[in-house]
Amino acid sequence: DKTTVTETVTASSAPANTSAQAGTTAPAALANLPQPPSGATQLKSNDSDGIQHARYSVTDQTPRQVADYYVGIWKNEGFSITNSSSGGEGGQYGGSGANATGSKAGTFVAVDAGAGNGEPTYFDICVCTDKEQVEHCGKHHD
């Protein structure tokens, strides 16, 4: 006698949030977002209200280095960089931040990075077809 066992897998049996896993691979739904810099850990991601967003942390790069990393990728992909700025310095209570935005053919991109003195750099990256939404990239991380 042979016994056949059939297993039915439903969506609820899959992991609920693969974006919380350490590593740098973005979920398939966020395929338009560039890969993060080496060593970055994805903290959150979502794809809602027409905006693709991911939040990361990295310990060995400054906010300016993170912003420059994305500016380089976007320029290579033909985006026009419409804003790129950084500021702040170290010190006992210092911190720094950097951001950049760009556009190409109705697609808008943004990165917003910041770090406290001696702390990891946290950054948000967004892709959207709405310029206003992408300019508030870091607001989409909740």
Q: pLDDT at position 90, please?
A: 53
Q: pLDDT at position 9, please?
A: 39
Q: pLDDT at position 20, please?
A: 37
pLDDT tens for the 142 residues of the chain, in order: 554 444 433 333 333 333 333 444 433 334 588 999 999 999 999 888 788 999 999 999 999 999 999 999 999 999 999 888 777 655 555 678 899 999 999 999 999 999 988 899 999 999 999 888 888 887 754 4
Q: pLDDT at position 84, please?
A: 81
Q: pLDDT at position 6, please?
A: 41
Three-class SS of the chain: CCCCCCCCCCHHHCCCCHHHCCCCCCCHHHCCCCCCCCCCEEEEEEEECCEEEEEEEECCCCHHHHHHHHHHHHHHCCCEEEEEEEECCCCCCCEEEEEEEEEECCEEEEEEEEEECCCCEEEEEEEECCHHHHCCHHHHCC
